[in-house]
Amino acid sequence: MNLSAAGEYAARSGHRIGIVGADVPRQIVMASRALPVRVFGTWDGPITAEATRLLGAVDAVTTRILDSLLVPSQYRFDGLVICNDSMAHLRLFYIARLLSQQGRLPFPVHLVDAPRGTGGPRRQFVTRQFAQLAQFAETITGHALDGESVLSAAQEEHEIGAALRRLRQRRLAQHCSGAEALKAYRAATQETPDVAVRIIDAAVSSGIEGARRIYMTGSSHPDETIYGLLEDAGHVVITEDHDTGDSSWVGEAIDEADPDVLFERLANQHAVRPPLAARALTSERVQHLTRGVEETRCVGAVSLIRELDDAPAWDLPEQETALRARNLPMASRVRIAAAGAVEAAQSIIGELKGPKWRESR
């Protein structure tokens, strides 16, 4: 693959903009000749008292993100963009903004605030947000968006999108595990486009053809810890509705040379993205789940919900009801403690061996 202009500039310039959250149109950052590098956090690992105190009671994954940002050698970012796509991330923005002003974070911090929904007021607001994102990126790279850079960034995103479509086909055919897919998604949002495509296309698994197909809902999966455990136990995660997997905003772009029109069209695209737990209605989430389970022929769904990530817990009862109506089982654990992911997954694995799951489909 030929690396096109924007990615080349990003790679050459070395500008790296950290991204927390799922609402950033990568095309804008790439067209500004910076590399967007998503920060995910982890399911497990230590949490410092300082991060806990600064953020207060939030999802442990976000607290771990703050911890990682506070380690100077962890990232070499020139700027950080945080999305208002969950209360935890919005809180992180408030804290990171102050820490940046105090010099604790050695880069500027910017908020992307993209409320859900269609209609004039929201589209106009999100359009402005994306324009401000471009301005922020420009202050870092010195490059203002132009026709050439936005089109070449679009091409790169399309190539990542094509690779991700191939990945999804392999998952459906059970030639790629969920854990491998999550790694590929991570590469798609952290690496330069050529490297990302290579990693995505290399995500292949063998010996999982007979595994039982699972749909993953609930909290997001910042890494493949849980997927790995489930898949080692004879299951395979075919798809998911969270923003580090099939519901992430990556590989989509607009072929539009005029930046102002681009921002508006990206706002339109944002408005119809898959519904994420923290910003969508339960009814939207249930509809997305049932359609996804049917289309991917999963035998049931698993939901692991972390403590202080309450949005998926409100979705859960109606998700269970909707699947029950289709004679499909759902296994769930709520309020999973900061250090309790593995234990929760092992307990779920035990449940998946039960009769409800054996008899499904």
Partner 1 sequence: MKWERLQAAVSATRYQKQWFSDLRDAARSGEPIAILNADAPHEIFRALDIPYVVTQWWSSIIAAKGFGPAALSKLAEQGLPDFSVQYDALPLGEQLLPEDQRPWGGLPTPAFAVAERSGDVTQKIFEQWGKRPETETFLLSRTGAQPVPRNWWELVPHEWESAFGAARLDLLEGEIDELILWLEERTGRRLNENKLAEIMARANEQAEWNRRSRDLVASVRPTPVLVRDTMPAVMVPQWHRGTEWAVDAAQGLYREIEARVERSAAVCPGERRRLMWVGRGVWSDLDLYTEFHKEFGAVFVWSMYLAIAADGYARYGDNSRRALAARFVGLTDQLYVPPWSSEWYVKEAKTHGIDGVVHLIADDTPGSGFITDALEATGIPVLEIRANNADQRSSQAARIPEQVRQFLKTRL
- Write out the residues near partner 1 by the rule CB under 8 A: 53-57, 84, 86-87, 90-91, 93-95, 98, 111, 113, 115-117, 119-122, 124-125, 128-129, 277-279, 281-283, 308-311, 313-317, 320, 334-335
Q: Are strands 16-20 and 35-38 parallel, antiparallel or unpaired?
A: parallel
CB 54, min distance to partner 1, A = 5
Q: Which residue has the tokens 């392999």?
A: 170
CA distance 206 to 223: 21
Q: In the complex, what is the shortest distance from the CB of residue 175 to partner 1, in angstroms, rounded to a whole number? A: 35
Work out how close the CB of 153 gets to partner 1 at its nearest, in angstroms, rounded to a whole number: 25
- Whichever of 117 and 142 has its CB closer to partner 1, that residue is 117
277 vs 352 by CB, closer to partner 1? 277
CB 132 within 8 A of CB 84: no
Work out how close the CB of 87 gets to partner 1 at its nearest, in angstroms, rounded to a whole number: 5
- How many C-beta atoms surround the C-beta of residue 209 within 10 A? 10
Question: Which residue, 154 or 323, is less far from partner 1 as judged by CB?
Answer: 323
* Nearer residue to partner 1 within complex by CB, 52 or 296: 52
| Integer angstrom CA distances of residue 333 from 122, 124, 298, 307, 346 | 35, 39, 19, 10, 11
Which CB sits closer to partner 1, 291 or 335? 335
What's the min distance (Å) between Cβ of 280 and partner 1? Answer: 8
Least distance between partner 1 and beta carbon 90 (Å): 5
Distance CA 271, CA 284 (A): 13
Distances (CA, A) of 21 to 94, 105, 149, 302: 14, 18, 24, 22
Give the Cα separation of 282 and 168 in Å (integer): 25
CA 324 – CA 123 distance, rounded (Å): 37
Q: Which is nearer to partner 1, 317 or 350 (CB)?
A: 317
User: What angle separates helix 259-271 from helix 120-141, to the nearest 10 degrees?
Assistant: 130
Nearer to partner 1 among residue 86 and residue 177 (C-beta): 86
- First and final C-alpha spacing in the chain: 42
Bridge-partner residues for 303, per DSSP? 217, 332
Residue 118 CB, shortest distance to partner 1, in Å, is 11
CA torsion, points 186, 246, 251, 278, in degrees to nearest 10? -90
Q: How far is the CB of 256 from partner 1 (least distance, A)?
A: 22
Nearer to partner 1, 176 or 280 (CB): 280
Query: What's the CA gap between 2 and 8, in Å, rounded?
Result: 10
Residue 113's Cβ-count burial label (10 Å; 0-12, 13-18, 19+) is: middle
